[in-house]
A and B are shown apart, each in its own frame.
Chain A
Amino acid sequence: MKVSLTVNGEEVSASCEPRRTLADFLRHDLGYTGVHVGCEHGACGSCTVSVDGATARSCCMLAVQAEGCTVTTIEGLASSGELDPLQESFREHHGLQCGFCTPGMLATAHELLRDNPDPTDSEIRAAISGNLCRCTGYQFIVDAIKGAIRPPHDGQQRDGVVEPGAAASSRRK
């Protein structure tokens, strides 16, 4: 079947079988390989993209369902060659290691900050709890999302019982 949709502002179309997931369609038929597939059963969140303004796990959607939809992938976040504030904050706070979960994390974090512009640490943790990361232990992802809050917050603020890892690292020579 032919599927036509808008991806990152561009109208695109390709043909695929009905069984093709949106994730595979975006990656293999349209070339948006920034969409990552980690489990194909809706559990890891790596393939999360925005569909018509709401996050969706693209492994749990058929491509044919996306007919006429507007999709944003990680490739669409940095416009005009500049990282967006969330991407910048992930870089600054070391919110990624291998980068495989990062596209889904960014999509989820964008939606969180849109719907809740000033989340607490536990709200951030709850919001990303459907996005598995095996590298970072999440601490710096939480810091990165916190760091992208506008107006900027004191990066040291945290509602856990421990002082922040980044700024509070003590040193002894």
Chain B
Amino acid sequence: MKAAAFEYLRAASCDEAVAALAGEDTAVLAGGQSLVPLLNMRLARPRLVVDINRLADLSYLRRDNGNVVIGALTRHRAAETSAMVATDLPLLAAALRYVGHVSTRNRGTVGGSLAHADPSAELPTVAVALDASIRVQGSHGVRDIAAPDFFVGPHETALAPGELLVSVSFPVVPGAVSVQELPFRGCDLVVVAAVAVEDGICAQARIAVGGAGPTPIRASAVEEALIGRPVTDAVIAAAVAEFTCDPPDSLHAPASYRREMASVLTRRAIGTAVHT
């Protein structure tokens, strides 16, 4: 279980990284928590690994006009323990606690999780729920991609060859939050919800389900069925009934179970959020 040989570039600047990524068969090494195991298993075999860990200017958290902008190289653990994330992006803070373990969050990066585009991963699901904007840099300059457009399929993104994910901008949304997963690793689903309730009426809802399809799914029909209605159990149940998905079998859970659990977890996420 040793990686195939590759060349290695420790990029000293974004421009250098982007220039290197323009070549054939390249891979970006950020936190390495997904890439290095894939290299070890020879499931990823790039010609060139571009290490962006020394690009200190990609590691930051800042407020910007009703958004929180997070540099791609910001470690999960830094975001998780950030007071700004705790107050402005409680959904992200809650989701981060489900990402791996402290030792993986110490290394793993916000940008890396997004670029890896695991459909059942927490950060892509939060990005879809919040309609985050993902900024990528290429030889052409920078462009912003809305999260729903960024995730194209399992481990597939809208990143063009030669582009580097440099930051993500999460809008600050009101409401209480909940992240739900089953304590059964074979299920591989995550539901994230941010629900704002005013005078017993749902004012805003952001809900997404990870693992139930090729990319995280924004539960728009559920949100619509909630907004403007009193958040009673019956309304929540009716709203969740609007959710449809077509998840694949996983090794330890058939599609039918995973589909059903997506609904259960969605209902629990909403219920937990509104009762917080």
Find out whether A and B make contact in their complex, taking CB atoms under 8 A apart as touching.
Answer: yes
Interface residues of A (CB under 8 A from B): 1, 17-19, 21, 24, 40-42, 45, 48, 51, 54-57, 59-62, 64-65, 67, 107-108, 111-112, 127, 129-131
The 3 closest A-B pairs by CB, nearest first: A130-B101, A18-B8, A55-B103
| Nearest CB in chain B to that of A49: its residue | B103
Q: Chain A interface secondary structure, helix, strand, loop or mixed?
A: mixed
Stretch at the interface among B28-36, B66-74, B119-127, B203-211: B28-36
Once the chains bind, are A60 and B32 in contact (CB under 8 Å)?
yes
Check if B8 sits within 8 Å of A64, measured CB to CB.
Answer: yes
The reply to whether B107 and A56 form a contact with Cβ atoms under 8 Å apart is: yes
B contact set with A: CB distance below 8 Å: 1-8, 10, 29, 32-33, 36-37, 39-41, 49, 51, 53, 77, 100-104, 106-107
**What separation, in Å, do the CA atoms of A21 and B107 have in the docked complex?**
14
**Residue from A55, A64, A130 within 8 A of B10 (CB atoms):** A64
Cross-chain contact B36 with A127 (CB below 8 angstroms): no
Residue of A nearest to B49 (CB): A18
- Known contacts being A19-B6, A60-B32, is A41 close to B100, with CB within 8 Å? no
CB distance from B52 to the nearest CB of A (A): 11
Task: Please judge, given known A-B contacts A60-B32, A64-B8, whether A108 and B103 are in contact too, CB under 8 Å.
Answer: yes
- In the complex where A42-B37, A60-B104 touch, is A65 in contact with B2 (Cβ < 8 A)? no
Interface of B is mostly: mixed
8 pairs from A and B in contact (CB 8 Å cutoff): A19-B39, A40-B40, A55-B106, A60-B37, A61-B107, A62-B8, A62-B51, A130-B102
- In the assembled complex, the CB of B137 is this many whole angstroms from the nearest CB of chain A, namely 22
Q: How far is it, in angstroms, between the C-alpha of A158 and the C-alpha of B63 when the chains are bound?
A: 42
With A19-B5, A41-B41, A130-B100 in contact, do A54 and B36 touch (Cβ < 8 Å)? no
A129 proximity list for chain B (CB < 8 A): 101
| Closest B residue to A67 using CB positions | B10
A21 touches B40 (CB 8 A): yes
Given contacts A1-B8, A41-B41, A60-B33, contact A19 B103 (CB under 8 A): no
Quick check: A18 and B6 within 8 Å, CB to CB? yes
CB of B106 within 8 A of CB of A42, answer: no
For A1, the chain B residues whose CB sits under 8 A away are: 8
A57 to B3, CA, bound (A): 16
> How far, in angstroms, from A67 to B41 measured CA to CA in the complex?
24
Could you say which of B3, B7, B102 contacts A127, with CB atoms under 8 Å apart? B102
Looking at the assembled complex, report how far the CB atom of B272 sits from the nearest CB atom of chain A, in whole angstroms: 18
Determine the residue in chain A with the shortest Cβ distance to B51: A65
Identify the interface centre among A42, A56, A127: most chain B CB within 10 Å of its CB: A42
Q: How far is B3's CA from A127's CA once the two chains are assembled, in angstroms?
A: 29
Nearest Cβ on chain A to B30's Cβ, whole angstroms = 11
**Extra contacts besides A54-B103, A108-B103 (7): CB < 8 Å:** A19-B3, A21-B36, A42-B33, A56-B106, A60-B107, A65-B32, A129-B101
Q: How far is the CA of A100 from the CA of B103 in the complex (A)?
A: 18
Q: Are B4 and A19 in contact (CB under 8 A)?
A: yes
Contacts of A112 in B (CB 8 A): 102
- Separation of A41 and B41 alpha carbons in the complex (Å): 8
Query: Which of A17, A18, A61, A108 is B102 in contact with, Cβ under 8 Å?
Result: A108
Residues of A with C-beta under 8 A to B2: 19, 24
Q: What residues of B have a CB within 8 angstroms of the CB of A65 in the complex? A: 29, 32, 51, 53
Determine whether the beta carbon of A18 is less than 8 Å from that of B7. yes
| Shortest Cβ distance from B5 into A: residue | A19
* Contact present for A54 and B3 (CB under 8 Å): no
> Is A62 touching B102 in the complex (CB atoms < 8 A)?
no
Contact status B37-A40, CB under 8 Å: yes
Cα–Cα, bound, A48→B32 (Å):
14
A19, A45, A61, A67: which contacts B101 (Cβ < 8 A)? A45
